[in-house]
Amino acid sequence: MTGRERVIRALEFKKPDRVPRDLWWLPAVEMFREEELEKLLHEFPMDIDYPDFTPGVAKVQQDSNLPNFTVYGLENPVVGSYIDEWGSIWNVREDGVIGEVKDPVLKDLDRINALQPPWDFLETTNLSTVDRQCRESDKFMISGITARPFERLQFLRGTENLYKDLIKNKAEIMEVRDIVHSYHLAHIEKWLETEVDALWLMDDWGGQDNLLIPPEIWREFFKPLYKEYCDLIHDAGKYVFFHSDGCIEKVFEDVVEVGIDAINSQLFTMDLEKIADTIKGEITFWGEIDRQYLLPFGEPAEVKAGVRKIRGFLDGEDGGLIAQCEWGKNDPDENVRAVFEAWAETAETKAKA
């Protein structure tokens, strides 16, 4: 069974021969620990891949003396300031770790009329090699990040300003939202012209133990956007993969309702039993394993116990799971290896653990 076949069977609950694998890593791992990374990938071949392409450049970036930051992030971030395609300024304060916006381009809502999506960034993004990579690979191929409306509004306004806007400046921030949404639809359309198997959407909705905004506001402002994205992607015959950090269990049923096929979320911040009772069998859980404690500070045996915990609640044997974790800058390689060793355990081994 190829990686592509294995992932599709997991998504459609059609009994893959094993749980598909996917590993993410912070740029720091590739920058400073390449040998460890290559060894682990050789030991545990992944079933998911992400095609290479060339991000575009917006005029606001060309006119700046700062290096570029894009929706796709930074390949080798080093300490310094960067400008994204919308014109917001990002600060990176630790080599190998993605930074955050410190100077949002739309600090003043009175400047809404001057806000223009970076169409030139899309026009100059070169996806010409993507189809060839998809054809030559037997792995399941996922696009670069496309839509992230909640986060993009934070990048444009600043997080604190956006939270105030959602209460006090609803008409104005809805206007900004719609500008961002129109751009995201065009971004999705561009990737839909390629042969990738799935498109990647993301928004970090949660904090440590709750949503960052009330679920009612989330449903009013953002849920319709995700539904439109999912419908567009499904109409093109592709799957929707979504990443969101934090405790998001209050909107998990909404996630299923809008049509997301695979969700990557911080399961260890949530009630696994409740999630299993509510939506198990209706969506594929695309990882992950606790990266707040287990991966950076735990012992391999504890990491394996964490994987078994996920499997105990969510493993339906027919599919619906992808073995995924994120390798942080200082996480021991033996802990990441333990993740995939535990996922490789047979049902009999798992039962004895």
CA distance 219 to 250: 11
**How high is the pLDDT of residue 75?**
85
**How high is the pLDDT of residue 351?**
47
**How high is the pLDDT of residue 346?**
65
In the block, tokens 């990374």 appear at 37
**N- to C-terminal Cα separation, the chain:** 28
Task: Tell me the domains of the chain and their CATH numbers.
Answer: 3-53+127-352 (3.20.20.210)
User: 314 and 280 in contact (C-beta within 8 Å)?
Assistant: yes
E strand intervals along 50-153: 80-83, 89-92, 100-103, 140-145
- Segments in the chain below pLDDT 70: 346-353
- Collapsed DSSP state (helix, strand, coil) of residue 101: strand
CA distance 68 to 73: 9
CA distance 301 to 307: 10
In the β-sheet with 100-103, what is the strand arrangement from edge to edge? 80-83, 89-92, 100-103
**How high is the pLDDT of residue 28?**
94
Give the helix ranges, DSSP H, for the chain. 3-11, 27-32, 34-43, 59-62, 119-124, 130-136, 149-157, 159-168, 170-192, 215-221, 223-235, 252-258, 272-279, 294-297, 300-314, 333-343, 347-352
* Phi, psi of 100, deg, nearest 5: -145, 160
